[in-house]
Homo-oligomer: A and B are copies of this chain.
Amino acid sequence: MSKPKVFEKPIGFRDYLPGAVKKLRAIEHRILRCMEGWGYEQIMTPTMEFYDTVGAASSTSDAKLFKLLNNRGTTMVLRSEMTAPIARVVSSLLKEEPVPLRLSYHANVFRSIEEEAGREAEFFQTGVELVGDASAEADAEVVALAIASLKAAGVNRFKIAIGHVGFLNGILEDALHGRVEDQAALKEMLLSRNYVGYRDLLKRLNLAPEVTQELADLLRLRGGEEICERALRVSSNETARHAIEHLCQIWAVLKAYGVCEHVLMDLTMIGDFSYYTGMTFEGYAADLGFPVVSGGRYDNLLAGFAHPAPATGFALKTTRILELLDQEQAEQASQLLIAYTEAGRAEALQHALALRQEGKLVVTSKVDEEQLDMLAQSTHFNGKSYEQVIVYPQKGANA
């Protein structure tokens, strides 16, 4: 083990320099403003939570949680996502509030990582939770809000894929009754989008040919509105049918929002959190290989906090949206420079205050006579260039 060098930081953590911060905060601001417009109010929770409460509920694998002990020997975790902490708040401080609750957040979350290239141990999420409404209308609202949020952030080319964990659960339980491990193995293939592996595994499961065919056909259940009807024909399993009917209702509401151009049905999709119980969705930007948003319904999570309530929501991967938009040129902030010698100081500093009051960005600098003369004819100083330079005392103003 070597000592870290003085300027090193832990693997997976990053610094954001002014240009990046400007963009990141603009994205944050625009998304939160959009969510506010839909009636969502922001809450904040601690960076650290008890492992036994929020850590365990967060559905992040144990190996990926940053853990530490407090001085009483209790294990704490750095939050790995915001849904479980918000469930804790909803079940305690907000439990008497009328539902539905519409809550939003912007937060950094933490995942312990191996030293994989490009993985981040701390990153930002901006999201919402809609608590206390089990309807398809509520699911559609969060999907439509995810779409509006991406647009507000400046992401224009993207697709949202929606699925339902009930559909796969129903179909697989019918086809592989009680074979929990085989069901899990097939789901794992779908979760990692390993469709070749899925088909290979299917062959090895020794199912009746028509069942194998039915499960293989699942991979084709991706597309638009037509998928609803096709899916209803695949299975007579009741859980699966309910799932499809709920999805069709969501689709109808999304149509009313006028956002279906951004949506596709993908019945092979299962969310990456084990607490999802219904509709799940993921959004992919055109130029990016990984999701920029994921969400879904989690009707059982709040019961774990002794406050049963249906809930649905999503988290935008704000850090990834930044990467996506980072290729665009940053808007250059234009600063003014007011340079002065001691004789011009009071006038200079007062002028600076007045300009700042008007919203201008003003740097002040005390200089010597020679520099002052040079600055009367230049907008460059100390390696930086300024929109305008004003010097005090103002020579020749009366000349």
Chain A residues with a Cβ under 8 A of chain B: 1, 3-11, 13-18, 20-22, 24-25, 34, 36-39, 41-50, 52-54, 66-68, 70-74, 76, 78, 88-89, 91-94, 97-100, 102-103, 108, 110, 112, 114, 121-122, 135, 137, 141, 144, 148, 253, 255-258, 304-306, 333, 335, 345-346, 348-350, 353, 356, 359-364, 366, 382-384
Copies of this chain present in the complex amount to 2
Q: A25-B42, A70-B112 are known; give 11 further A-B pairs, CB within 8 A.
A: A3-B52, A4-B52, A13-B49, A15-B89, A17-B94, A21-B41, A36-B361, A38-B362, A66-B68, A102-B363, A258-B349
Residues on B with C-beta less than 8 A from A114 are: 71
Contact A6 B305 (CB under 8 A): yes
A313 to B379, CA, bound (A): 27
Contact A49 B353 (CB under 8 A): no
CB distance from A86 to the nearest CB of B (A): 9
CB distance from A109 to the nearest CB of B (A): 10
CB distance from A39 to the nearest CB of B (A): 4
Contact A345 B256 (CB under 8 A): yes
Closest to A88 in B: B7
Contact B17 A43 (CB under 8 A): yes
CB distance from A99 to the nearest CB of B (A): 7
CB distance from A147 to the nearest CB of B (A): 11
Closest to A386 in B: B39
Q: List 14 A-B contacts (CB under 8 A).
A: A1-B72, A1-B74, A4-B53, A13-B46, A13-B48, A18-B41, A18-B42, A21-B43, A37-B356, A39-B335, A47-B78, A47-B122, A98-B383, A257-B349
Given A346-B256, A362-B37, A4-B50 contact (CB < 8 Å): yes
Contact A6 B70 (CB under 8 A): no
Contact A46 B14 (CB under 8 A): yes
Contact A76 B39 (CB under 8 A): no
CB distance from A98 to the nearest CB of B (A): 3
Of the candidates B25, B37, B71, B258, the one whose C-beta lies within 8 Å of that of A112 is B71
Contact B356 A38 (CB under 8 A): yes
Instruction: State the main secondary structure of chain A at its contact with B.
Output: mixed
**Most interface-central of A13, A91, A112 (chain B CB within 10 A):** A13
Of the candidates B18, B46, B359, the one whose C-beta lies within 8 Å of that of A9 is B46
The 4 closest A-B pairs by CB, nearest first: A98-B383, A13-B46, A39-B363, A18-B41
Given A36-B361, A256-B349, A68-B71 contact (CB < 8 Å): no
Contact A98 B257 (CB under 8 A): no
Contact A122 B48 (CB under 8 A): yes
A366 to B114, CA, bound (A): 46
A240 to B359, CA, bound (A): 41
Contact A43 B67 (CB under 8 A): no
Closest to A140 in B: B349
A383 to B93, CA, bound (A): 17
Of the candidates B6, B14, B44, B78, the one whose C-beta lies within 8 Å of that of A53 is B6
Contact B43 A258 (CB under 8 A): no
CB distance from A46 to the nearest CB of B (A): 3
Contact A37 B345 (CB under 8 A): no
Residues on B with C-beta less than 8 A from A8 are: 50, 53
Contact A16 B37 (CB under 8 A): no
Given A74-B1, A94-B17, A46-B122 contact (CB < 8 Å): yes
